[in-house]
Structure 1
Amino acid sequence: MLALLFGVAVVALGLDALTKIIVVDQLEGEPPVEVFGGLLYLDVLRNPGAAFSLATGMTWLLALLAIAVVGVIIWLAPKLRSPGWAVGLGLVLGGACGNLADRIFRAPGPLQGHVVDFLSVLAPGGAVWPVFNIADSCIVVGGVLVVLLSLLGRDYDGTVHRRKKAAENNS
């Protein structure tokens, strides 16, 4: 499962980094680009906060939180026995590393860098939905997958918990 976890994380991180490099180089400072007939806009924004631009003054704390998430996933990795959990946590790991790289290496400085966001749904500038990036998408999809697996009774270690029938519980 380690190869699957880290393979997914590397692909997610690579796609995030590549898209950010391209949009910063080609689109920053330019007007938004309409894609798919206005379903999506490429609109480069620098986000000092978390999702929905929350905690904009706490960039350093968000960086430390991302470091903690990465640490927990790496600690949990040897215990993984579920391919679904490996994919989900790999997406979260890759996404967290992608945004963490921005916070460490981008202006205005280490642990204060602003994340490059560039995907805006239905309207430019986040008028309908906040602007996001590939890392954000990976974190959300990975998180949803992990929650879904948990709700289905599938644990990271490969065990499956079956719910007892309601009649058995009432006995």
Structure 2
Amino acid sequence: MRLTAWVAAGVFLLDQISKYIVVHLMNLDRLLVIEVLPPWLNFHMAWNQGVNFGLMAGEGDLTRWVLIALSLVITGWVWIWVRRERHSRLMLVSAGLLIGGALGNVIDRLVYGAVADFLNMSLPFWRNPWSFNVADIAIFAGAVGLVLFSGKGDGAAKKPRPKSDAKARR
């Protein structure tokens, strides 16, 4: 469980530090767009009040608090799930990614009233209209990891006990 906690803490700190630097120190909240490596990587300020791709945005304060509560419930459930039995290191890392990302977005909703999204990646022939953040990447990677690595523990709890010599001779 320490691995999960360390990964969650690392993701949380990386997410919050990156948001602070880009939004406050680079003033993206006022500039709205900073071209970093156009069109591949740009910072586009987006205050996401809803869920993925802005779904449920504009529903007001009730949605904000429901999404905070839902994030905390899911985070708690994942923590309890990975704590109850042995899991592979990849499963523990995946849980940490999801937990750290979810908590990073919860802090945004508490502090700003919305999630601070700023990363935008496009192609020369396609402009991506959506922005995301480090927490979103971690949540996605963690969720995929939980699906892929679920049930693939180190097997310590499932190994049959070796038969004693007396039982084997009978």
- The TM-score with structure 2 as length reference comes to 0.78
Kept after mapping to 2: 8 A contact 1:4/1:87: yes
3-state DSSP class of the match of 2:56? coil
Correspondences of 1:15-94 after superposition (within 5 Å):
15-25=14-24, 26=26, 27-56=28-57, 57=59, 58-79=63-84, 80-94=86-100
Kept after mapping to 2: 8 A contact 1:5/1:89: yes
2: CA distance, partners of 1:138 / 1:115:
14
Is the radius of gyration larger for structure 1 or structure 2? 2
Count of aligned pairs: 149
Kept after mapping to 1: 8 A contact 2:87/2:152: no
Residue 4 of structure 1 is matched in structure 2 by: 3
Supply the AA of the counterpart residue of 2:98.
V
Residue 12 of structure 2 is matched in structure 1 by: 13
Residue 140 of structure 1 is matched in structure 2 by: 140
2: CA distance, partners of 1:51 / 1:29:
23
3-state DSSP class of the match of 1:68? helix
Q: Structure 2 regions of 5+ residues with no counterpart?
A: 159-170
Using the aligned pairs only, state the percent identity. 32
Where has structure 1 moved over 6 Å in runs of 4 or more?
Answer: 156-160
Q: CA deviation at 1:63?
A: 1.0
1:33-84 deviation per Cα after TM superposition (whole angstroms, max 9, x unaligned): 2223420111122111111001111222111110101111222242243211
Q: Structure 1 regions of 5+ residues with no counterpart?
A: 107-112, 161-171
Residue 154 of structure 1 is matched in structure 2 by: 152
Q: CA deviation at 1:154?
A: 1.6
